[in-house]
Structure 1
Amino acid sequence: MATVLLLICSNLFMTVAWYWHLKGGMNKPLAAVIAISWGLAFFEYCLAVPANRIGYSGGWTAGQLKVTQEAIALIIFGGFMVVVLKEPLHWRHFAAFGCIMAAVGFLFVGR
C-alpha cells in the first residue's frame, strides 16, 4: 500500500512538473519553465525512488512497478487534463486506460 500511495503522490508532482506551463505559462521563458519543472520533479523523484525500493523489496517485479506507475500516471493525467487544461475526455482515453489496466492485470496474474 505504501508503494501505491507514494506512486500517486509522485505522479501528482510529475504531472504538474511536465504540464503546468501549458495553461498560463506559455508566455514564460523556456529556461524558467525548465528550471521550475526541475524543481517540481525533484519532489517526484523523492517519492518515486522510495516507492520503487519499497515495492521491489516487498516482492514486486520491476515490470509490475512500471505498469502500476503508468496506470496511476494515466489516471492522474486524465484528471489534470480535464480540471486544469479544460480538455474533454473521449472514448479513446478510456480505451487507452483499459489497455494500460489490462497490462497491469497481466503482470499481476498468478502472483
Structure 2
Amino acid sequence: MRTIILLTISNIFMTFAWYAHLKNMRTRHWLLAVAVSWGIAFFEYLIQVPANRMGYGKFNLAQLKILQEVITLAVFVPFAVFYMGTTLSWNYVWAGCCLAGAVFFIFR
C-alpha cells in the first residue's frame, strides 16, 4: 500500500511538472517553463524512486509499470477536468477500460 500511496503522490507532482505550465506559463519563455517543470519533477523523483524500490519485489517489473499507468490516469483525469478545464469525454472511460484490461492480464 505504501508503494501505491507514494506513486500517487509522485504522479501528482509529475502531472503538474508536465502540464501545469500549459495553463500558468503560456506567455512565458519556454526555457522558464522547463526550469520550473524540472524543479517540480525533482520532488517527483524524490518520491517515485523510493516508491519503485519499495514496490519492486512485492510486484514484478511489469506489474509495477502497469500500476504506475493506472495511477497516472487516475491522477490525470481529475487534473485535466478540474485544473485545466478539459471536458470529460468517453475517451477517458475507454482508456480506463483498456488499463483495466492491462491490470487484469498483468496481475493474473
The percentage of counterpart residues that share the same residue type is 45
- Supply the distance in 1 between the matched residues of 2:64 and 2:10 (Cα, whole angstroms): 13
With the length of structure 1 as denominator, give the TM-score of the two structures.
0.93
Deviations 1:8-64 (A, max 9, x none): 00000000000011113110111110000000001111111111110113x211110
SS of equivalent residue, structure 1 residue 28: coil
Deviations 1:60-87 (A, max 9, x none): 1111011100110011110000011101
Q: Which residue of 2 aligns with 1:21?
A: 21
What are structure 2's unaligned runs of at least 5 residues? none
Corresponding residue for residue 84 of structure 1: 83
Question: What residue in structure 1 maps to residue 2 of structure 2?
Answer: 2
The one-letter code of the counterpart of 2:85 is: K
Task: Quote the Cα distance in structure 2 between the aligned partners of 1:74 and 1:3.
Answer: 17
| 5+ long unaligned stretches in structure 1 | none
Give the deviation of 1:93 after TM superposition.
Answer: 1.1
Match of 1:46 in 2: 46
Q: Secondary structure at the match of 2:56?
A: helix
User: Which AA in structure 1 matches 2:14?
Assistant: M
Letter in 2 for 1:101: A
Number of equivalences: 108
For 2:24 and 2:52, the matched residues in 1 are separated by: 33
AA in 1 matched with 2:76: F
Cα distance in 2 between the residues matched to 1:63 and 1:75? 18
Matched, 1:61 2:72: no
Which letter does structure 2 place at the counterpart of 1:52? N
